[in-house]
Amino acid sequence: MKLAEFNTAEPARAAETLKPCIDVRRWVDTVTAARPFPSKDALLAFAAEAANPFTSAEVESAMAHHPRIGERPTAATTEASMSRSEQAGVDPADADVAQALALGNRDYEEKFGRVFLIRAAGRTAPQILQALKDRIANSPAKEDTIVAQQLREIAVLRLEGLITE
């Protein structure tokens, strides 16, 4: 969607455009209400600021939509398509990587009670695996902070891909 179209869209349509970036109602409503934006950079900067901080409840809600790293969603939604693209660096046919991710995901979920989340876009499978190994040693409080930051990065990257000048 072009920025001019986003700026002038009915609020419900603008909100539906934003929702696949991150399904956090407060963020969607805040960004929608702040229109019009003079540039894409201004939109992205505002969106990043509006996402800081996410509350624990917002993080939990947003996490419900994220698949495990290494598991590609099959739905035909915009959000699923974005997720598949973001995980392009993880080859599901690589058995060693798939097994390492499955084991790491299981250990992470046992410790933290949620899926491991990382901004996968631009990262290789070895980088993701290393981050998983490093982060499993974190305290729950530290991991909460990291997860919220990863969600912010994902939201802004997705928005960047949706809006053109």
22, 154 Cβ separation under 8 angstroms: yes
What pLDDT, on a 0 to 100 scale, did the predictor assign at position 91?
66
State pLDDT tens for residues 47-95.
Answer: 999 999 899 899 988 888 777 777 665 555 666 556 556 665 566 667 8
**Which tokens go with 100?**
């390492």
Distance CA 90, CA 129 (A): 10
Mean pLDDT by 10 residues, the chain (165 residues): 98 96 95 98 97 90 78 60 59 80 94 93 91 97 95 95 95
Continuous H helices in the chain: 3-8, 11-18, 25-33, 40-50, 56-63, 78-86, 95-112, 125-135, 140-162
- Residues shown for the chain: 165
What pLDDT, on a 0 to 100 scale, did the predictor assign at position 66?
75
